[in-house]
Amino acid sequence: MPTVDESIANEPATPLMLMLSADLHWRRREWQAAIEAASRVLAKRQKDFHALAILVGSYGHLQQFEAAHPYAKRLVLASPPSWRLIKVVIALLTFFRLFTARGRASVRKTMLRCDLEAQSDRDALAWAQELLSAQRAADDAVAV
């Protein structure tokens, strides 16, 4: 079974496969590989919230704040996914699973994952705003 990166190398890469690759590299703390994959996503989807978040976070971990700055600007303007809507859809699609203890546990785990992803999105936005504020403060200090 080929890895995600092998699949991308052998076949035309879809934005979904590229985003999966970027996310996997980011979670493994492989910052440069995450940057490369997320950049390829942005070439196809200029306003992709998660690709922007991966770029800002990866450059931040590499202490490359100047490189992160333009992506932070774009991230603050991008729209994060609506995790509440996603949770409603999941609840509707899994309604009958709620009748068993095992099904309830599975749905609860999925809902918790949505909450974690929503918190991650809020954290990425907060960090991008902090980076932009620090840059503005530095620019103001230079102007004085």
Kindly tell me if the per-residue pLDDT of 143 is higher than 70: no
C-alpha span between 133 and 22 (Å, rounded): 27
Return the pLDDT at 37.
Answer: 94
Q: Is the pLDDT of residue 2 over 80?
A: no
pLDDT tens profile 49-61: 999 999 999 999 9
Per-residue pLDDT band at 94 (split at 50, 70, 90): confident
Evaluated on CA atoms 58, 60, 64, 70, the torsion sign reads: positive
Domains of the chain: 4-143 (1.25.40)
Q: How many CB atoms lie within 10 A of CB 37?
A: 28
Alpha helices, DSSP H, located in the chain: 4-10, 15-27, 31-44, 49-61, 65-77, 83-93, 101-143
Tell me if 10 sits within 8 A of 2, measured CB to CB.
yes
pLDDT (0 to 100) of residue 52: 96
Q: Are 89 and 80 in contact (CB under 8 A)?
A: no
From the CB of residue 91, how many other CB atoms can be counted at a distance below 10 Å?
14
pTM, to two decimals: 0.77
Cα 134-40-37 angle, rounded to 5 deg: 80
- Cα-Cα-Cα-Cα torsion 87, 88, 90, 91, nearest 10 degrees, comes to 110
Q: Are 17 and 7 in contact (CB under 8 A)?
A: yes
Please classify residue 48 by burial: count the beta carbons closer than 10 Å to its beta carbon, then call 0-12 exposed, 13-18 middle and 19+ buried. Answer: buried
Q: Residue 129 pLDDT more than 60?
A: yes
What is residue 43's predicted lDDT score, i.e. its pLDDT?
93
